[in-house]
Amino acid sequence: MECVLIGTGGMMPMPYRMLSSLAIRLNGQIYLFDAGEGTQINWKKVRLGVRGLKLIAVTHLHADHCLGIPGMVMLRAQMEDPAPLTILGPPGTGEFVAQFRRLLEFKVNFTINVIEWSSNSTGVAYRDDQAEILWEPLKHTRFAWDTGSRRRTGLANSIRRGRRPWECRGDRSGESSKKAKA
């Protein structure tokens, strides 16, 4: 398992520190957690390749965590015969994807499956033969309004390989990408 910090910045892109994005490569499959604006730029710099991109998991719909999704979809649409892509995220993710596809009018030559968290979502959010991703709601400034308490919540993703949970904690040193093997 390889962890690649594509971006560690927050709110504003800096020349040498892109916005939030973490790629986990496992046996040729890539799971992308958050895609801040310009994610595809550092993606190309670290030479991950887009064929293995299987899933984009968005923790919340702040711009610095999701505005890179259109660029990643456009980058992936340049390949021949790409496999389906799953986009996992909070309520509103499906609308976000539908709107950028409608407004930007670019050709997408693969299926995009969107899975949104809901108050009924517990446990496993996504599972394939390599890993599973779990829903873990948390408090943050944006995610969804809880209609009962008017409390704001967010979403944390954790990934498991087999039965073992795996974590990758980011270094905030300012380098645009780092790699770590587990």
Active site residues: 64
Asked whether the beta carbons of 53 and 128 are under 8 A apart, the reply is no
Beta strands in 95-151 (DSSP E): 112-116, 124-127, 132-138, 144-145
Q: Pull the structure tokens for residue 156.
A: 């944390």
Asked whether the beta carbons of 61 and 88 are under 8 A apart, the reply is no
H or E element in which residue 103 lies: helix 93-104
Q: How far apart are CA 43 and CA 26, in angstroms?
A: 16
Question: What is the DSSP track for 30-65?
Answer: EEEE---TTHHHHHHHTT--STTEEEEE-S---HHH
